[in-house]
Amino acid sequence: MQSKNKKPMTRFERAHVEQVKALPCAVCGTEKEGREAHEMKQGLYFIVIPLCPDCHRGHRNGWHGQKAMWNVMKKTEELCLHETLTKLYGGAVC
């Protein structure tokens, strides 16, 4: 799936993505501006996790790089997704 073929978000998906991006980075926990929503499968907007640019696309630290920070923090996409949904719906805001 190339990005130009991505289907547009529904308003429900957009609302979900906005909520996710308001959470701290799922890997390093930073609340700095500019967090991005990483789609675990491109175009599936309900399985997104909040990442700072470095944990997302950083050459060394990022998911789309060498995943150094992911390894240090012992994070997986599935774990991050679970933690993200827990923060949104489980009432365990931290």
Query: Could you count the other beta carbons within 10 Å of the beta carbon of residue 81?
Result: 18
Angle between helices 77-89 and 11-21 (to 10 degrees): 100
73 binds Zn ion (CB under 5 A): no
Shortest approach of Zn ion to residue 30 CB, angstroms?
A: 5
Q: Which of 23/25 has CB closer to Zn ion?
A: 25
Q: Which two tokens stand for residue 58?
A: 């950083």
Residue 53: strand, helix, or coil: helix
| Beta carbon of residue 92, minimum distance to Zn ion (angstroms, whole number) | 20
The one segment of 1-9, 10-18, 31-39, 78-86 that binds Zn ion by CB under 5 A = 31-39
Q: How far apart are CA 25 and CA 7, in angstroms?
A: 25
Q: Does 55 engage in binding with Zn ion (CB under 5 A)?
A: yes
Residue 23 binds to Zn ion (criterion: CB under 5 A): no
Which range binds Zn ion by CB under 5 A, 1-9, 16-24, 47-55, 79-87?
47-55
Q: How far apart are CA 21 and CA 5, in angstroms?
A: 23
Q: Contact positions toward Zn ion, by CB under 5 A?
A: 25, 27-28, 38, 52, 55
